């Protein structure tokens, strides 16, 4: 039973990443893992409950990767630089399957369930805190406000770069984000 629940969550997450939250249907998810629609309710109370758990998993995975990368950095400031450089990179833009769920869900967040919106808001707060810690340690005035502006710049850049069909324009959006983030943070980016 636990294996089936895990399969449902993995498939829901895959569907969200590839086609969006609205594409998650009970029939579609159960069919793709080779189960019947009727057994779904033995695992979740509703479609929304499954979507919420899938989103929570996405955020947990993203948070874990961010924290692991920060631990490997030589200093908190260098960890932040590495995070920002990766975030506004073509690799992140192109890797929706493992990319940041904040950017992936940004357009859908207002239509999510109240619980999923709270998960989204909680993760945004977590990322803002991750950004503000090294800024605070460097003595920056209003680090929380700067972190909010940086997060908005990063998520916005990825969303716009993913939406832009012209490859050169998409790359230009990402390239323009780095100096803006440098100016906001006072950090140097390669």
- In the chain, domain spans: 46-185
Q: What is the pLDDT of residue 190?
A: 79
Nearest 5°: CA angle at 14, between 9 and 18? Answer: 150
Token pair 């440098």 in the structure block, residue: 182
Q: What is the pLDDT of residue 11?
A: 93
Please give the average per-residue pLDDT across 66-76, as a whole number.
86
Tokens of 97: 């399957």
pLDDT(54) > 90: yes
- pLDDT tens digits, one per residue of 102-136: 999 999 999 999 999 999 999 999 999 999 999 99
Supply the CATH classification number for the domain 46-185: 1.10.357.10
Q: What is the pLDDT of residue 1?
A: 64
């Amino acid at each position: 039973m636990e294996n089936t629940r895990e399969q449902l969550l993995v498939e829901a997450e895959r569907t969200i990443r590839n086609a969006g939250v609205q594409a998650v249907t009970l029939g579609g998810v159960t069919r793709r893992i080779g189960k019947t629609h009727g057994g779904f309710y033995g695992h979740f109370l509703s479609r929304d409950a499954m979507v919420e758990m899938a989103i929570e998993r996405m955020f947990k995975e993203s948070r874990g990767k961010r924290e692991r990368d920060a631990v490997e950095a030589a200093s908190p400031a260098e960890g932040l630089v590495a995070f920002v450089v990766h975030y506004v990179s073509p690799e992140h833009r192109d890797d929706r399957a493992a990319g940041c769920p904040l950017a992936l869900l940004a357009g859908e967040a207002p239509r999510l369930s109240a619980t999923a919106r709270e998960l989204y808001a909680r993760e945004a707060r977590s990322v803002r805190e991750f950004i503000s810690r090294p800024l605070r340690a460097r003595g920056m005035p209003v680090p929380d406000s700067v972190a909010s502006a940086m997060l908005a710049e990063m998520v916005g850049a990825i969303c716009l770069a993913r939406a832009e069909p012209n490859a050169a324009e998409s790359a230009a959006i990402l390239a323009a984000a780095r100096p803006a983030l440098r100016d906001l943070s006072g950090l140097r980016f390669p």
